[in-house]
Structure 1
Amino acid sequence: MIRFLQYSLLSIVFMLASCEQVLEPKPVALLADDLVLNEPNDVQPVRIGLYSALRSTAAPNMIAGDFTADYLVHNGTFTDFRELGTKQITAANGAVNSLWVGLYRAIYVANFILEKLPQVSGVSENTRKQVIAEARFIRGWANFIATQTYGDIPKVTSTDQATNRAIVRTPKADILASVLADYQAALTDLPSVASGSTDVTTNATYLNKISCQAAMARYNLYMKNWVDAERLATVVISSGVYTLQTNYSDVVLKDFTAESILEVGYNLTDDPGTSNDPVTNGVGLNNLFVSRREVIPSNQVVAALTSAESGTRSATIGFNVQNLRGSDNGWTVLKYGTASEDNNNIVLMRLAEMYLIRAEARAQQGKLTGTSGAIADLNVLRTRAKAPAVSVTAQADVLLAVERERVYELAFEGQRWYDLVRTGRAQAVMSAYTPNWNVRYERWPIPQREIQQNPNLTQNPGY
């Protein structure tokens, strides 16, 4: 059966601003199958649990998006990361299982709220609508990531264990339709946020109408709905709620910047840079990148990020000659610090991505030049990065420029593999990167543990 039903403990600590600030009420622990939502005082703890469940998806989602692609090379001893680095992924891989568990944990908590909250009396209508909208969004978000990662997945819409023990996979198209329905429902009741709002932490921590529209812009880009992707990205850009940082290095080295649209925070006890993070099999991002150096940036991405075309985006990685030995190229990912540093959060969406979404959508429509063209959007980011302006004008060349710009701008934010698959570029790029690449790696396997526990689940081809 789906493993979120077997989780013994769900921590619902949720961090708001810095590593030391904790969102009230104080953290509590709840059995996943015994969440309590019977009276108004229960609403806020369960709401925090919902955001905590979202947070648990962030690190494994980053691992999926970048470890599966051409950004990282295995440099250590862990089997799970060796499989990802050498492109010999198995259904028993712990990272494959961790993302699945995190996503279905989020879906479970969202479904719990959607089932229970309408029946709780004494809750204000505004609170009820907002929390239900947040649950709809997070369920949609989790399903979107799950279907992009695994393909057809179980469509879980209840907390009934008997139903979920024997659930089958639902076609990807049906899951994506449900994602859009969840986003649209969430958009109606999520709170508005005023243009020019300076509360950047709240803007990035809690869902609002603009952050929902940002997720919908990404959704429409993946669906190749170019007109809607352009329109929604424009709404986010024009809202004035989020602004680009002046210096790109701040994106790497600081939490809760003005351009962060959705960001998950941590504290000293549950930081993803520590060795206690359960969703990365006990090894957090900072440990993977820095302490253990289990994975290091590939030579290809190092060359890209240190080129003149990248500009100041080279701040994403750092070099230390003392690490230069054997197969270690000496380079390190700098985006994920320790719990005591000011860059230990994980950003799920930021404003720069909206410019990239709009640029790609415009390019696909043939809108290449002028103030409302794809090139103008790319040059906004290139100007910020002190990189030379885009000089190409042919549509195919502009689309390749968008792909490269996503490498420079979004490296190690968990999007590369998904980008290559959705654009049909995975086979060309990855087969040139490694002789072990196989078309089956355009989808992760369904975790072997899930198939063993639910005989109605089928495996993806080739695994």
Structure 2
Amino acid sequence: MSRLPIYIIVFLFALTSCNEVLEPKPVDLLVDELVLNEPQDVEPVRIGAYNALRGMASPIIIAGDFTGDYIRHNGTFTDYRELGTKQITPANGAVEAFWNRIYRTIYVANFLLERLPEISGVNSETRTQVLAEARFLRGFAYFIGAYTYGDIPLVTTTDQGVNRTIPKSSKADILAFALADLQAALADLPDPSSTSNSTTNATYANKITARAVLARYYLYQKNWAQAEQYATQVIDSKVYSMVTNYVNIVTQDFTTESILEVGYGLSDDPGTGDYALNNLLVGRREVIPADQLVVSLYSTESGERRQTLSFNPQNQRGDDNGWTVLKYGTASEDNNNIVLMRLAEMYLIRAEARAQQNKITGTGGAVADINVLRARAKAPNVVAASQADALSAVERERVYELAFEGHRWYDLVRTGRAQAVMSAFSPNWNSRYERWPIPQSEIQRNPSLQGQQNPGY
């Protein structure tokens, strides 16, 4: 199937953004506003589905790293003060925005899955691929949604009447549904390892992308053997390769290491807006790197991963420590994209899965995988003789390697480390913050959610 350049994707998104097709709350979306009546409608709606995924990208970073111990509040916005001081409420705007963008992705995927099988004249290859992409995007959205909010509504239709009153499903049921979607997508997505292309577009899902998400899925589920297996398949595919210098991860878009990445252009650069990373981390300095993260990234153990941050003494005013996150630039820079998955994460998933199976040393052990990343970062090799040492090394390495890529809070919760780490970080930490609240607006809108707020909120 043909691939559109990123600037065309951006152009089409700019056109559709004037319409409410992707913007309203899920319960208010109108089927008639998405047009899928004939073959030429397929590509714009497909692009709309990926644009919905783009809407999830910044909130993933905010949830994953702002909820954890990576930031402290430095500005004036209530939403980020709540995240920085660990006093999150159901009225938090970031909490609502992430919920809406998850369900926007689900809605557009549902629309494709409902309508595309009915459209005549679409060639079978295109139909199969686009339906698989819709399943992938929906499965990914539900996976993220379940680990962010816990029990959430399972929306499988675009019917407004049905969607207005859907109750919560259990987190386990949501994750089972997500797994079924991801497995179905894996079967039908294109296989980049079977083509002669020298590069793979990380904007679009393929079989290796699905395997990467499944590796993360099984890691979170503590199915160590499956996590190791899928991570190994991604690594061994050779479709993606480690960049030589870590600084390129910070300063460049679409590197050879990128497995799933959302791109931006001049018309929709994420440098401005309430939930734009460059605006929050650099422009407004609404949040700044926490002091202990700075110490970690500037340790000998981190090596060149210190290039994630920079220091400017001119920023040292009031409580500002002068440190800045460099991973998210503006439209005039070559690092304004958001990477959702990259090859380094696969080595860390495999290292953790191997350590949990007591595979510590040797070529098939956790230490070898950790040292692949440490060698790239020009950091000293790690030595770990026991399972506990190896798991501690993996946790530290995830901080060094993946800082501000949206993993920290999810990692602490899934490993059972949140209470110990976060209570030492903030006196306001409470175990209820191991999941975000259901947005208050959603509870007010959906009668089936009334009285169903997450515990403690």
Q: TM class, shorter-chain normalised?
A: over 0.9
Kept in 2, the 8 Å contact 1:147–1:172? The answer is yes
Q: How many Å apart are 1:199 and its aligned residue? A: 4.9
User: CA separation of 1:377/1:195 partners in 2, compared to 1, >3 Å: closer, same or farther?
Assistant: farther
User: CA separation of 1:85/1:261 partners in 2, compared to 1, >3 Å: closer, same or farther?
Assistant: same
1:203 to 158, 177, 201: 201
Q: How many Å apart are 1:268 and its aligned residue? A: 1.2
User: CA separation of 1:24/1:288 partners in 2, compared to 1, >3 Å: closer, same or farther?
Assistant: closer
1:338 to 324, 330, 334: 330
Letter in 2 for 1:203: N
Q: How many Å apart are 1:401 and its aligned residue? A: 0.5
Q: Distance in 1 between matches of 2:322 and 2:215?
A: 37
Q: Distance in 1 between matches of 2:76 and 2:420?
A: 29
- Secondary structure, in 3 states, of the residue corresponding to 1:261? strand
Kept in 2, the 8 Å contact 1:15–1:266? The answer is no
Note the residue ranges of structure 2 that are not aligned, 5 or more in a row: 22-29
Look up the match of 1:232: 230
Look up the match of 1:286: 278
Kept in 1, the 8 Å contact 2:36–2:45? The answer is yes
Give per-residue Cα distances to partners, 1:138-191, cap 9 Å, x unaligned.
000000000000000000000011111111000010111011100010011100
Q: Distance in 1 between matches of 2:116 and 2:416?
A: 42
Aligned pairs for 1:379-418 within 5 A? 379-418=371-410
- Identity rate, percent: 68
Give per-residue Cα distances to partners, 1:394-413, cap 9 Å, x unaligned.
10111010000000000000
User: CA separation of 1:454/1:23 partners in 2, compared to 1, >3 Å: closer, same or farther?
Assistant: closer
Give per-residue Cα distances to partners, 1:213-269, cap 9 Å, x unaligned.
000000000001100100000000000100000000000000000000000001112
Give per-residue Cα distances to partners, 1:20-57, cap 9 Å, x unaligned.
x3239844325432201110010000000000001100
Q: Distance in 2 between matches of 1:339 and 1:197?
A: 32
- Secondary structure, in 3 states, of the residue corresponding to 2:313? strand
User: CA separation of 1:197/1:222 partners in 2, compared to 1, >3 Å: closer, same or farther?
Assistant: farther
Look up the match of 2:416: 424
Q: How many Å apart are 1:16 and its aligned residue? A: 4.3
Q: Distance in 2 between matches of 1:85 and 1:196?
A: 46
**1:128 maps to 2:114:** no
Q: How many Å apart are 1:271 and its aligned residue? A: 1.3
Letter in 2 for 1:388: P
Look up the match of 1:251: 249
Q: Distance in 2 between matches of 1:448 and 1:203?
A: 38
Kept in 2, the 8 Å contact 1:273–1:283? The answer is no
Q: Distance in 2 between matches of 1:198 and 1:98?
A: 37
Look up the match of 1:107: 106
Kept in 1, the 8 Å contact 2:271–2:279? The answer is yes
Kept in 2, the 8 Å contact 1:359–1:377? The answer is yes
Letter in 2 for 1:191: P
Give per-residue Cα distances to partners, 1:273-331, cap 9 Å, x unaligned.
123xxxxxx34111111111110000011000000000000000000011112211100
Kept in 1, the 8 Å contact 2:58–2:275? The answer is no
Look up the match of 1:319: 311
Letter in 1 for 2:344: A
1:347 to 328, 336, 339: 339
Look up the match of 2:215: 217
Give per-residue Cα distances to partners, 1:337-382, cap 9 Å, x unaligned.
0111100000000000000000000000000000000000000000
Q: Distance in 1 between matches of 2:68 and 2:4?
A: 30
- Secondary structure, in 3 states, of the residue corresponding to 2:201? helix
- Secondary structure, in 3 states, of the residue corresponding to 2:288? strand
**1:181 maps to 2:173:** no
- Secondary structure, in 3 states, of the residue corresponding to 1:413? coil
Q: Distance in 1 between matches of 2:196 and 2:295?
A: 38
User: CA separation of 1:285/1:197 partners in 2, compared to 1, >3 Å: closer, same or farther?
Assistant: farther
Letter in 2 for 1:226: W
Kept in 2, the 8 Å contact 1:25–1:44? The answer is no
Letter in 2 for 1:454: N
Q: Distance in 2 between matches of 1:305 and 1:228?
A: 31
Kept in 1, the 8 Å contact 2:235–2:346? The answer is yes
Give per-residue Cα distances to partners, 1:46-98, cap 9 Å, x unaligned.
00000000110000111000000000110000000000000000000000001
User: CA separation of 1:289/1:245 partners in 2, compared to 1, >3 Å: closer, same or farther?
Assistant: same
- Secondary structure, in 3 states, of the residue corresponding to 1:446? coil
Kept in 1, the 8 Å contact 2:59–2:275? The answer is no
Look up the match of 2:359: 367
Look up the match of 1:9: none
Q: How many Å apart are 1:392 and its aligned residue? A: 2.1
Look up the match of 2:146: 147
Letter in 2 for 1:461: P
User: CA separation of 1:16/1:433 partners in 2, compared to 1, >3 Å: closer, same or farther?
Assistant: farther
Kept in 1, the 8 Å contact 2:10–2:265? The answer is no
Q: Distance in 2 between matches of 1:162 and 1:191?
A: 35
User: CA separation of 1:199/1:64 partners in 2, compared to 1, >3 Å: closer, same or farther?
Assistant: farther
Q: Distance in 2 between matches of 1:151 and 1:386?
A: 39
Letter in 1 for 2:47: I
**1:296 maps to 2:288:** yes
Q: Distance in 2 between matches of 1:166 and 1:308?
A: 54
Q: Distance in 2 between matches of 1:195 and 1:432?
A: 49
User: CA separation of 1:411/1:25 partners in 2, compared to 1, >3 Å: closer, same or farther?
Assistant: closer
Kept in 2, the 8 Å contact 1:15–1:23? The answer is yes
- Secondary structure, in 3 states, of the residue corresponding to 2:63? helix
- Secondary structure, in 3 states, of the residue corresponding to 1:194? helix
Taking structure 1 as the reference length, what is the TM-score of the superposition? Answer: 0.93
Paired positions, count: 440
User: CA separation of 1:72/1:93 partners in 2, compared to 1, >3 Å: closer, same or farther?
Assistant: same
